[in-house]
A and B are shown apart, each in its own frame.
Chain A
Amino acid sequence: NAGVTQTPKFQVLKTGQSMTLQCAQDMNHEYMSWYRQDPGMGLRLIHYSVGAGITDQGEVPNGYNVSRSTTEDFPLRLLSAAPSQTSVYFCASSGGRGANYGYTFGSGTRLTVV
C-alpha cells in the first residue's frame, strides 16, 4: 500500500525547459490535486480533478497543465519553466465521499528553475 507516490523527489530545470511531475495513487481515490508550497504562502492549489477525464483550475493554474486519463495517475506538466515556478510541489488524493475524508499527500517534489 504505497499511498500517493510522486516522482522525481528533486529536479533542477533551466528556464524554458518543460517537464512532467508524476503522481500516482493506489487507493482508487476519485479526487486528486496538485499544490505548490512557498514560504509564507501556505499551499496553493494549482489544478484538481474529481475523476478520470475531469479536471479544473485552482488558485494558481498559469504555466501548468494537467490531464487525468486514469483514476490512478495525475501528472502535472510545466510547459516552459520559469524561476517563479521554483517551489515544492505536492500531489494529494482523497477517496470516500470525495474531499470529505481529507486528502492524503505525497512526499513532494522540490523543483528549482535556474
Chain B
Amino acid sequence: AQSVSQHNHHVILSEAASLELGCNYSYGGTVNLFWYVQYPGQHLQLLLKYFSGDPLVKGIKGFEAEFIKSKFSFNLRKPSVQWSDTAEYFCAVNSGNTGKLIFGQGTTLQVKP
C-alpha cells in the first residue's frame, strides 16, 4: 500500500536559519508529489508539486523541493526561514493519477523571531 513518512514531527528554528524537512514515500510506480502548508487556523494550501522533468521544483514563498527517485524522497527546503513560516507542513503522494492523494503525518515548524 502507498504510504508517506515525514521524519521530523516538530522543528524549531530561529529566523534566517535554513530549513530542510524530510519526506519519504513507498510506491514503486509513477508518482506525483506535493507539499502543502497549513497556517494556524487555516486550511491547506499548495506550496509546490512535482509531476515530471526537473527534479528540483520551486514553489511559492521561496520554498523548493528535490525529488530523488533512488531514495524515494521529496525533501522540502528553504534557505532562510521567517517568523511567518510558522505552520504545519504536509508531504503528499498521488500514485498513477488514481485520484488517491495520501498525506504524511505532518511537521510542525516553529520559527522564533
Chain A interface residues toward B at CB < 8 A: 30-31, 33, 35, 40-45, 48-50, 56, 58-59, 90, 92, 94, 97-108
B100, A98: Cβ atoms closer than 8 Å: no
For B32, list chain A residues within 8 Å (CB).
99-100
Provide the bound-state CA to CA distance between A105 and B46, in Å: 9
28 CB-based A-B contacts, threshold 8 Å? A30-B99, A33-B99, A33-B101, A35-B103, A40-B106, A41-B105, A42-B6, A42-B90, A42-B103, A42-B104, A43-B44, A43-B92, A48-B99, A59-B102, A90-B43, A90-B44, A92-B44, A94-B101, A97-B97, A98-B97, A99-B32, A99-B97, A99-B99, A99-B101, A100-B94, A105-B44, A105-B45, A107-B43
Determine whether the beta carbon of B90 is less than 8 Å from that of A102. Answer: no
Residues from chain B with a CB closer than 8 A to the CB of A98 are 97, 99
Closest to A50 in B: B99
Complex CA gap A44/B4 in Å reads 11
Q: Is the CB of B100 within 8 A of A58?
A: yes
Decide if B83 is an interface residue (CB 8 Å cutoff).
no
Return the chain A residue nearest B35 by Cβ: A102
Q: Are B98 and A42 in contact (CB under 8 A)?
A: no
B9 at the interface (CB under 8 A from A): yes
CB distance from B67 to the nearest CB of A (A): 14
Residue contact A40 to B99, C-beta cutoff 8 Å: no
Establish whether residues B100 and A42, one from each chain, have CB atoms under 8 Å apart when the complex forms.
Answer: no
By the criterion CB–CB under 8 Å, are A45 and B100 in contact?
Answer: yes
- Tell whether, in the assembled complex, residue B49 and residue A102 are in contact, meaning their CB atoms are under 8 Å apart: yes
Shortest distance from the beta carbon of A67 to any chain B beta carbon, whole Å: 16
**Residues on B with beta carbons closer than 8 Å to the beta carbon of A99:** 32, 94, 97-101
Task: Among B45, B94, B106, point to the contact of A42 (Cβ < 8 A).
Answer: B106
Interface string of B19-63 (1 = CB under 8 A from A): 000000000000010100000001111100101000000000000
| Contacting residues, chain A, for B49 (C-beta < 8 A) | 101-102
Lowest 6 A-B CB distances belong to which pairs? A42-B105, A43-B103, A50-B99, A99-B94, A105-B44, A31-B99
